[in-house]
Amino acid sequence: MSSPQDDLSELFSKVGFEDKKAKEIAKNKKVASLLQTILSKSDATSYDDEKKLALLHQLAVAENKQGKEVPHVELLINAINKGDIRTTVQLSEGVKFLNAREGQSAPEQVDFDEATGVGINVSEEEAKDLISKYLDTIKEEVESKRYSILPKVMSDVKAQPVLKWAPPNLFKPILDSLFLERIGPKDERDAKKKEKKKSKSSEIETENGIGKENAGKKKSGASANNTGKEEKDDEKEERSMFSEGFLGDLHKPGEEPQMYPELLKEHNEFIKGQVYTRFPPEPNGFLHIGHSKAIMVNFGYAQFNNGKCYLRFDDTNPEAEEEVYFNSIKEMVSWLGFKPWKVTYSSDYFDELYEFAIQLIKLDKAYICHCTAEEVKLSRGQKEDGTLGGERFACKHRSQDIEHNLKEFENMKLGKYAVGEATLRMKQDLNSPSPQMWDLVAYRVLNKPHHRTGSKWKIYPTYDFTHCLVDSMENITHSLCTTEFILSRESYEWLCDALRVYRPAQREYGRLNLTGTIMSKRKIAKLVNEGHVRGWDDPRLYTLEGIKRRGVPPGAILSFINTLGVTTNATNIQTTRFESAVRSYLDQSTPRLFLVLNPVEVHIDNLDDSFELEVEIPYKPGVDVNKLGNRRMVFRNKIYIDRGDVIDTPADKEFYRLAPGQPVGLMRVPFNISFKSLEHRDGKTIVHVNYDEIKEGKPKKPKTYIQWVPVNDCIHVKEVRIYNQLFKSENPGAHPDGYLADLAEESESVLLNAVIESNFSEIVDKSPMNLEIPNSQFNIKELEGPNTIRFQALREGYFCVDKDSKGVGENELILNRIVTLKEDANK
């Protein structure tokens, strides 16, 4: 009689797998079972195409890895069978797309095809042309780093929107031939040099501990001969995102490629070999979790290299800017532990930018355009249906003479034109494949007073005109931005070169996205305005204000980003992974307390009212008492326990807590309690128990221990707000009825009767505790605030004080749950 494994092996052989491969797959029971299910859903009974079989096998592996079947998996199976999906990249994108629609109706075929690149055929010639154009944008970097940059370039081109659908076997030969053509064959410059191991003994104090000298440093006192604990501790130290990957490969200050190399002299005299970066937010909204990566990349990279970072407000749109956003951004940068070298504003440079615009006109590289928005779109090749690809042509105003343009620009400045009637456009390259070179707008009319310059200006520069020139004036060495600005690099460099000013080096990294939430200002505003959340700082939102109010420590955010690293690919992370990182950080940095969320009074009948037992409990086991200390609680005959920890019927095998015939232990109390009865008196429930006498010097070990709080020595909590994910799915925007239809009904629940041990008052007095986490680069010293009063409620989760609290007295305290503890099936 054949075994199940043999039967599966035979099935796989029949559908087309080679016998050896069929047996290999059948050995993995989980994958084999999933593959069997996939094949049962396929219309094909056998395959003569090994690639299709390999993709079906990969689909089974993907399902096994995520622990569940892909929703609407038939779409993937059919696409593989028809040959629409031919690569693992398409398969991977399809799995992601369908996973995001779990619990929803099947997507339209056109949406599925778009998500998986169906019908996009990239020829070798097209791939070579696109890769060549990309290499043009990093020409100087290729010439300086030569073949050492090839792996990074390979990764970058594979991430390009069109190229990711190209056959994988095209990239290497194309890149090899293009590198050979551009920089010649490999020579001694490309030989890998063995670097000497740098000494780790020197230490320089920097904010956040971010610095080359602190990256991976050994503990004080560790010697070269130590092979014991110190060495093990070193192995646990955090890696630094600033010394490897994208940031580790960046050029040195003073090596910025220039069309006019003589411009570097003055620049280098200013920077003196130091890194200069900037974080340039628009003050038109609150920052979110994605901005924390930008803050850390720019401030952290400068700090790591002992350089300087500006906080520069890109305040060129007075219609959208409000004082509350300026203040919030400053606070969030400080909260994350960074201090700007200087706080500047794009408006500081309005006079200089205006002069640059005049200069550009005089160079015949800018002109006044009176086209409507629709006419501009048409000239840029936008068809009537809104898609690109139509014929591009020059604006009818493009050939106006210089004097006319100067006069018209002056008229714009004097307010002689209404909004939309005139713009200053740059005269770029309409034949370029990049939309960023199709005569971008440099200045527009805005009849709105500016918060800093008042009514001085009727015209304001655009981001595309302002950004690179202010970078230049501030001598930025590394203009670091996210990959949606890759195409903008060409226009950025064009404008600097056209005006013959120092050209900073713009370099792009992948942005941070969290799934299961939304980041759009417009969508969050709708949630706030319609009352779905408590405000922009609602703890369920992933605005930085919301994350702070929720109680997440800033060091946890920085540690999380550091573990992700920085690459040129966008990082899409589930909120559960973020919460896991926060939980790990809190586990190492918070004291422990007893909190009872749903209390029920317990009377220990065989202890009299005079009984007292003082117990001493460490705030955090394993931590030096001098750092955190112990706390004392007095155990008496009346206590609170959680209502969920007691039942009045015999317990089944899944229930480990207090029940008839099943005693339970009380944390740090030297005896167990046994259930007697449940009484309902005066509208409340009282549990009657006995303590179990110790007969042979040692109490019988219970199945579990529970937390407790003395009835006459506790703090009654006004509210405990339990937060869960705001949306039901990982992709709220994909809901067919809109993201509001995806809101989870119980994303916030409020408990009104919780009690906490009175030692909580001591934690309040000691907060912020700023406990240092060993081997971490991100021990941020926080300032006072309710969000810094954090603790672990044993068996319940991590909590902090909410800003709505009026104090810590009776029924004044409001707590937020930050994250849960790790799930325990036997809790």
pLDDT in tens, 461-482: 999 999 999 999 999 999 999 9
CATH topology of domain 595-707: Ribosomal Protein L25; Chain P (2.40.240)
Strands of the sheet with 308-313, listed across from one edge: 276-279, 308-313, 342-345
Question: Above 80 in pLDDT, residue 104?
Answer: no
CA 248, 250, 256 angle in degrees (round to 5)? 160
Q: What is the domain partition of the chain in residue ranges?
A: 4-116, 124-183, 348-466, 521-591+718-820, 595-707
Q: Is the pLDDT of residue 826 over 50?
A: no
How far is Cα 609 from Cα 672, in angstroms, rounded to an integer?
Answer: 18
User: What is the CATH architecture assignment of 521-591+718-820?
Assistant: Beta Barrel (2.40)
DSSP, collapsed to helix, strand or coil, labels residue 716 as strand
CA 227 from centre of chain: 37
Query: Residue 550 and residue 539: Cα distance in Å, rounded?
Result: 5
Q: Are 559 and 565 in contact (CB under 8 A)?
A: no
Residue 617: strand, helix, or coil: strand
CB atoms under 10 Å from CB of 260, counted, come to: 12
Structural tokens at position 698: 């040692």
Q: Which CATH class is domain 124-183?
A: mainly alpha
- Write phi, then psi, for 288 (nearest 5 degrees): -125, -175
At 148, list the tokens: 């050492």
Higher per-residue confidence, 622 vs 781? 781
Is residue 494 scored above 60 in pLDDT? yes
Please, which pLDDT band fits residue 618 given cuts at 50, 70 and 90?
very high
Tokens 């020409």 appear where? 139
Counted residue by residue, the chain has a size of 827
Per-residue pLDDT averaged across 94-121, rounded? 83
* Greater pLDDT, 584 or 622: 584
Cβ neighbours, 10 Å, residue 136: 11
Q: Give yes or no: 521 in active site.
A: yes
Per-residue model confidence as pLDDT tens digits over 733-769: 888 889 999 999 999 999 999 999 999 999 999 999 9
277 Cβ contact list (under 8 Å, min separation 6): 298, 299, 301, 302, 307, 308, 309, 310, 476, 477, 478, 479, 480
Write down the pLDDT at residue 244: 87
Contact at 8 Å (CB) between 585 and 554? no
pLDDT at res. 239: 74
Q: Residue 110 and residue 119: Cα distance in Å, rounded?
A: 11
How confident is the model over 129-144, as a mean pLDDT? 85
Strands 423-426, 441-445: pairing is: antiparallel
Q: What is the dihedral of CA 583, 588, 590, 592, to 10 degrees?
A: 90
pTM to 2 decimals?
A: 0.73
Q: How far apart are CA 490 and CA 472, in angstroms?
A: 15
Whole-number Cα distances in Å, 566 to 148, 249, 337, 579: 18, 11, 19, 20
Stronger pLDDT, 556 or 20, i.e. the higher one:
556
| pLDDT band at residue 197 under the 50/70/90 scheme | very low
Task: Give the CA count within 13 Å in the CB-facing half-sphere of 40.
Answer: 7
The DSSP bridge partners found for residue 618 are 630
Least confident of 164-168, 497-501, 659-663: 164-168
Instruction: Extract the runs of DSSP E, i.e. beta strands, from 403-549.
Output: 423-426, 441-445, 459-461, 478-482, 505-509, 512-515
What CATH number has the domain spanning 348-466? 3.90.800.10
Strand runs (DSSP E) across 692-761, as ranges? Answer: 705-706, 709-710, 714-716, 719-723, 748-751, 755-757
Q: What is the pLDDT of residue 240?
A: 85
Residue 79: exposure state from Cβ atoms within 10 A (0-12, 13-18, ≥19): buried
Cα(217)–Cα(206) distance, integer angstroms: 13
Please enumerate in sequence order all residues whose Cβ is within 8 A of that of 375, keeping only pairs 6 or more positions apart, or say none.
395
* Class of residue 82 by CB neighbours under 10 A (exposed 0-12, middle 13-18, buried 19+): exposed
At 377-431, the pLDDT tens digits run 999 888 777 776 788 899 999 999 999 999 999 999 999 999 999 999 999 999 8
Please report where in the chains the tokens 């401030």 appear, as a residue.
299
**233 has pLDDT over 60:** no
Q: Which is catalytic among the residues 521, 523, 643, 766?
A: 521
* pLDDT band, residue 232 (cuts 50/70/90): very low
Provide the pLDDT for residue 298. 98
Which listed residue (212, 427, 511, 534) is catalytic?
511
- Asked whether this chain's domains 348-466 and 595-707 adopt the same fold, the reply is no
Confidence of residue 215 (pLDDT cuts 50, 70, 90): low
The catalytic residue among 93, 282, 331, 579 is: 282
Question: Is 550 in the active site?
Answer: no
pLDDT digits (tens, 9 = 90+) for 422-466: 999 999 999 888 889 999 999 999 989 999 999 999 999 999 999
Residue 219 has what pLDDT?
Answer: 38
811 vs 424, which has greater pLDDT? Answer: 424
Beta strand residue intervals within 469-591, DSSP E: 478-482, 505-509, 512-515, 571-574
Is a pLDDT exceeding 90 seen at residue 193?
no
217-221, 430-434, 537-541: the lowest-pLDDT one: 217-221
- Which residue would you say has higher pLDDT here, 66 or 56? 56
Q: For residue 722, what pLDDT is reported?
A: 97
Q: 173: pLDDT confidence band, cut at 50, 70 and 90?
A: confident
pLDDT interval class at 169 (50, 70, 90): confident
For the stretch 662-703, pLDDT in tens is 999 999 999 999 999 999 888 889 999 999 877 666 778 899
The count of C-alpha atoms lying within 13 angstroms of the C-alpha of 117, restricted to the half-sphere facing its C-beta, is: 22
Percent of the chain predicted with pLDDT > 70: 93
As a CATH number, domain 4-116 is: 1.10.8.1290
pLDDT at 248 (0 to 100): 92
Assess whether 540 carries a catalytic annotation. no
